[in-house]
Amino acid sequence: MNVYDFEVKTRDGKMESLEDFKGKVLLIVNTATGCGFTPQYKELEALYEEFRDKGFEILDFPCNQFKGQAPGSDEEIHSFCTLKYGTEFPQFSKIDVNGDNAIPLYKWLTENTTFHGFRDDKMKKILTPIVESMDKDYMNNGKIKWNFTKFLIGRDGEILRRFEPNESMEEVKEEVKKALS
């Protein structure tokens, strides 16, 4: 099984096969418009602009599971992202990434990756107690811990790397470059 085995719902409610992205390097991200990491949209768009002509796509999945930080309809979220951050990468329908209602793509991503902890910075001090209050066993499972968790997928559809929300976007960029070469 790989990423191409999944279908996801577009903003307009249609199902799209991820096979449509076959042969491309993908960065799959669960996002939110009211999160402390929301400014990463700007960095994500810069990454997209730099590499999209080289076979790179960002797949954006808004998620409201983390303290209700993605309120609004799919269209309201899309308008916010395009107007405030100029995003042009594909944005899909709002989803759940954890729990019984998690979409199959995210069940696969979380079952096939490991959480290695948050990068040691000021956000770690903020995130850790919040995440621990929601999941006492958070260090021992692959569940998504917060918005802006990213998965790098190789051209073959296999998971190359998981990035937690507070990992450096420079690190993400370096790994994308490697995957594209």
Q: Which residues are catalytic?
A: 35
Provide the strand spans (E) within the chain: 7-9, 15-17, 25-31, 56-62, 150-153, 159-163
**Signed CA dihedral, 35, 79, 12, 51: sign only:** negative
Give the number of residues written for the chain: 181
**74 vs 125: CA distance, rounded Å:** 31
Best CA proximity match to 90, nearest among 31, 11, 14, 24: 11
First and final CA of the chain: distance in angstroms?
24
**125 vs 149: CA distance, rounded Å:** 17
